[in-house]
Structure 1
Amino acid sequence: MGQWLLLLLCIGLVDCAYKRWLSNTNFGNPANWNAGRAPCGNDVAVIHDESAAVFLQVNTTVKQLLMPMNGEVVFGSDVVLGFTEQPDHSASCTPYSSNVEFNVTYPRDWFDSNNWCETDSETGDCKTIARLDSEKVPCMNDDVVYPSGNSFYVNLETGIDIKVNTFKITGKAYTTTSFQSFLSTDQGKGMFPLPNNGQRSSVTIQRRPCNDPTGCMCGNNKGEVLNRVCVIQRKRCTKAQCRTPLKPVGHCCDLCGGVAVMKFGSGFRFDTLVNGIRRNLIDGKPEYKDVQVITSKISEDEIQMVLLDTDGVRASQLTREIAKEVQNDINAGGFKYSVLSVRVDVSSGGGSTGPISSAQTAESIPNGEIAGIVVGGAVVVGLLIVVAIFVYRRKQSPTDELGFKVFDKISFKKPNFRKPRVEVPPSFGFRFGGPENVGPSQGFDNPMYGNNPLENEKPMDMEIMPSSLGLEQEEQPTFDSSRGFDNPLYDSPPLNESMFTDPSVVEKTSDLGSRPTSFVNPMAMVEDNPQT
């Protein structure tokens, strides 16, 4: 599936953890000379005062060699350095207009990732694998190799505890104690010079390979080690080609893609997770062929999976699929991966989603949905405010002063049905007896409920709500000037008494039977006949 998949398979495996030093001070290394090639018979080779010891590993001929008083050239076994005044016409000895100068005038940094390559063995070819910046330099479980047949000039810096698994220099293995002794020798001082303050960083050689089935932590993803790595690496960062880049744990530059951090529990195996993700989501899908995957153990119970590509679109999509795959297993009990939780960040689509709970997977919310949520929330809040104002005014003011009388006109009745009504003009009233010297009133006493004069100055509408049965057969009330109104709901006999008295006078009495009954209220629905 590609070289990047090797990373998924090699994390935690000892035979995949060799870091070999690349820089050297060899005379024959073209990168060590300002002409871009090693000196030849036509050149004057110049070694400056600040230069490291130069290792001459093959027979060489030059026109002249200029060295400082404290300069050093180390000869390999049976190697000869010759001088000539004859022109060199070989194809490798191209003309150069001035002296050829040795340019290794300062030690190369241990924490510079350009000085290291990852290999499958001590002498194997360097592998091109996506790595976090902190993992490009030796981790605490890596085997460090300074290859044979070379000389080196290394800056260990100061104030840092460097931890590695094993340490070999030109084929010789060292322990923590023996390496410390080597640093006190002339060869050791020439290879690992003292910093300006005279105190090198300590090197601890653990000799404890990682066989943990949950994976191996690098140990460089935080603290001073990461700071030193990023001081160098940030100068090489390129601008990310996405709007919202990410910076994973252990990395110095912004990336486009996604990050999934998984917290695991008992029974977790690194290779089970990696192989399951590869088999279920990556294999056979050409759309993910350019997505690089970096999987690392970043703490005692967390795995970080970083997915990146140029613009982050495909990597973000794959990150969401991985999160969904893992979350589905969590919801089912976690028997496949033994992962307890997963949280995701993605660079595409405008941002991150934060942590994923045990009940959901994380995905970015599109900007349109966010706008809809905001507008909908504003509408709901506005409606709540209107309702609150209505309730507050209703509590603080009488009902008839609220100005909502439009609701009084609402009638839930069948269309085109006209309710029968009896209108009482303002100058016309009814009474149930009493003196005639009381001033005019536009109300009347309900004989069944007591005195409650109406204050409305408009004509009072008296409505009779028809029954749903027999509407066409119902007899409407008639007005007879001689004896008044008949109650259409009761079979009341005609009254002989005079119906009309002073409409403004209502006589109150506790004995209803003693009143002269001149009018039967058509709106009163009582059990007993009010006429005695």
Structure 2
Amino acid sequence: MLKMPDMLLLLCLFGATDALYKQWIPDTNYENSANWDTGFVPCAKNGVHFLAQTKVSIYVETIHSVLALRLPLDGEFILNSKAGFYMGGSQEEPGCGPAGLIKFNVSENVKWFNPTLWQVAASLDDLEKRRFLFAVHEETVPCQYDDVVFKAKSSFRVDTTSNYASIPVQTVSVLGKTFSSDDEFSRYLGSNSGRLQFQGSSVVSVGNLGCSDSSGCDCGNSAKHDMICSSVTSPTVTCKKPLQPAGHCHAVCGAIVTVYYADGFNLEAYRQRLQHLFLVKPSYKSIQLGMSKIFKSQRLMGIIPFGSSAEIQIVILDGETGQQAGSIAEALARDILKDVHSEGSHLGIAGAEFQASSGSSSDDRPGSSAGVAVGAVFGVLIVLTLIVVMVILVRKGVVHVPKVVMPSMPSLPSLSRFQNNSDVGDLGGPLDRGFENPMFDKPTLMPAESTLYTTEANHAISMTQSGVHFVNPVYDDNETDFNA
């Protein structure tokens, strides 16, 4: 029989999705009081004024009585069923504000890459029920695998200006219609509504394939980090050691858990596991938790880059302030590590570690020392390979080693002058050689005897078993008697 955590995990696996839903917050709805300069919706005793140069698409949900309408040169009303305007209504309408002219506000701060203008959810149902997720700033803005949602009964205006020709996403939903084909969505962008709603130099493109990796995919917004963070105001942090999450625009007080995953890990299933095991607890009701897959560059000896490694980053924030900021987040980080210790092998997790803004940390990555040794061996092999390649290139003449010219040194007196000059004595005078012995002189100075230095002379030496014998040339072995 399955235990409760296993049943929750099984349900999470069946409910896992490949992407998140990013919903645009601002709208240009007529009924939104924030869109009017007086802070309330016009009524029968108000004149409605749109600036002549305003380019806006306005959604009208119900019928309204107004005193007058001044329309822009380029704009539109999108009317819901039974919605419209009429003049001369009762100025005693309940809830009607002061009489006068009311101007419609068109905000210029509606940039696509402003993370404060997006909401993140795991499903459409979560969007409708306002169950939003926390995410780092780079991933709050729609990623290349995400589904972008503009509210069904709503119109909007978004500025897509950026340094990029296109903004790829998986799908876009506008007025309840979902576009998954780039051709179809391009036609909508060319319509009057699309032209007024999407304004800017970059074109939003749909049809991008979803993430097929169960461990998660790279968002693709890291290159746009500066542009995303230009719209974010950094708050004042009060914790002892603020943390800087990857993909976030400023330091935070809380905790960061790094998960090292293996085969079988499912990012969305693990997200839901943490939701069901921990975030439902009353003690963690103030927690904001964001999960994402990040790539950290690896450097040999901290200097030479040789690749990157994929990790799961869990950013945990709490609502505490002052000296208590991040304390609840640290408690949750410790609970997550305990769960990794007990159930990590079943979840495809090889290990985890955390850092807290209090200064506490924990390293639970197995084989870390072995990893350092492997990295050192790998570095030595790289150096040896480079040396071998350089030697081969030099020998083949591909690479030429510059000659080093040494500065000239004053010549020293040659010792051979003293060694070869045998005519110099110890006191510097001529060496006394004594007398010459013709018997030990050089052969070239001896009289030219025909048999003395010929092959016949070899017979003067004979070898026997008893040794080597020299023949005396004065002795004649043919003579048996010697007479004086």
TM-score interval, normalised by the smaller of the two chains: 0.5 to 0.7
Matching residue of 2:175: 170
1:252 maps to which of 249, 252, 264: 249
CA offset at residue 360 of structure 1? Answer: 7.7
Q: Distance in 1 between matches of 2:367 and 2:144?
A: 37
**Within the alignment, does 1:306 sit opposite 2:315 as a pair?**
yes
Given that 1:272 and 1:337 are in contact with CA atoms closer than 8 Å, whether structure 2 keeps it comes out as no
Distance 1:10 1:132 in 2: 24
Cα offsets for 1:291-330 (capped at 9, x unmatched): 333222224831111222221123224324534654x579
Instruction: Note if 1:346 corresponds to 2:356.
Output: yes
Q: Distance in 1 between matches of 2:285 and 2:163?
A: 42
Q: What TM-score results when the alignment is normalised by the length of structure 1?
A: 0.55
- Residues 22-421 of structure 1: pairs in structure 2 closer than 5 A: 22-51=25-54, 52-76=56-80, 79-84=83-88, 88-96=91-99, 98-106=100-108, 108-119=110-121, 120-121=123-124, 124-160=128-164, 161-174=166-179, 175-193=181-199, 195=200, 200-210=201-211, 212-220=213-221, 222-224=222-224, 226-233=225-232, 235=233, 237-270=234-267, 273=270, 282=278, 287-299=283-295, 301-309=310-318, 310=320, 311-323=325-337, 326=340, 328=341, 335-348=345-358, 351=359, 358=366
Cα deviation, residue 47, structure 1: 0.5
Instruction: Tell me by how many angstroms 1:72 deviates.
Output: 4.3
**Structure possessing the higher radius of gyration over alpha carbons:** 1
3-state SS, counterpart of residue 188 of structure 1: helix
Q: Which residue of 2 aligns with 1:372?
A: none
For residues 105 and 308 of structure 1, what CA distance do their matches in structure 2 show?
A: 31
**8 A Cα contact 1:11 1:215, kept in partner:** no
Kept after mapping to 1: 8 A contact 2:18/2:214:
no
Aligned equivalents of 1:43 and 1:145: distance in 2?
Answer: 33
Question: Any idea what the Cα deviations from partners look like across 1:413-453, whole Å, max 9, x if unmatched?
Answer: xxxxxxxxxxxxxxxxxxxxxxxxxxxxxxxxxxxxxxxxx
User: How many Å apart are 1:71 and its aligned residue?
Assistant: 4.9
Contact 2:170 2:208 in 1 (8 A): yes
Letter aligned with residue 117 of structure 1: Q
CA contact (8 A) 1:106 1:153 kept: no
Query: Which amino acid is 1:168 matched to?
Result: S
Taking the aligned partners of 1:271 and 1:24, their CA distance within structure 2 comes to 30
**More relative contact order in 1 or in 2 (CA 8 Å, sep 6+)?**
2
SS in 2 for 1:301: strand
Question: Could you say what the CA RMSD is over the residues aligned between the two structures, in angstroms?
Answer: 3.7
One-letter code aligned to 2:328: R
Quickly say closer, same or farther: Cα 1:104–1:241, change in 2 above 3 A.
same
**1:184 Cα shift?**
3.0
Structure 1 residues 482-530: Cα deviation after superposition (integer angstroms, max 9, x where no partner): xxxxxxxxxxxxxxxxxxxxxxxxxxxxxxxxxxxxxxxxxxxxxxxxx
352-361 or 255-264, larger mean C-alpha shift: 352-361
Are 1:113 and 1:136, in contact at CA under 8 Å, matched by a contact in 2?
yes
| SS of equivalent residue, structure 1 residue 335 | helix
> 1:474-489 counterparts in 2 under 5 A?
none
Conserved? CA contact 1:118–1:126, under 8 Å = no
- Match for 2:111: what amino acid? D
Which has the larger share of helix? 2
CA distance in 2, matches of 1:274, 1:144: 20
> What secondary structure sits across from 2:195 in the alignment?
helix
Segments of 5+ residues of structure 1 without an aligned counterpart are: 362-532
Gaps of 5+ in 2: 1-7, 296-308, 370-484
CA distance in 2, matches of 1:179, 1:246: 41
Query: Residues of 1 paired with 2:245 and 2:102: CA distance?
Result: 44
Give distance in 2, aligned partners of 1:242 and 1:321.
21
User: How far has the Cα of 1:103 moved from its partner?
Assistant: 0.3
In structure 2, the partner of 1:474 is none
Helix, strand or coil at the partner of 1:177: helix
Give the 3 Å change call, closer, same or farther, for CA 67–244 of structure 1 in structure 2: same
Q: Deviations over 1:71-124 (max 9, x none)?
A: 54454555432122x65112221225x421100153722223443334532772
Q: Distance in 1 between matches of 2:208 and 2:259?
A: 29
Residue deviations 1:246-286, cap 9 Å, x none?
Answer: 12112223221111222322233336755776788x48976
- Secondary structure in 2 aligned to 1:336? helix
Structure-2 residue corresponding to 1:446: none
State the AA in 1 paired with 2:288.
Answer: Q
Partner of 2:444: none
CA distance in 2, matches of 1:163, 1:287: 40
Larger strand fraction of residues: 2
The change in CA–CA distance for 1:117 and 1:338 in structure 2 (over 3 A counts) is: closer
Quick one: distance in 2 between partners of 1:21 and 1:289?
A: 25
Q: Secondary structure at the match of 1:247?
A: coil
Aligned length: 338
Distance change >3 Å, CA 285–CA 115, structure 1 → 2: closer
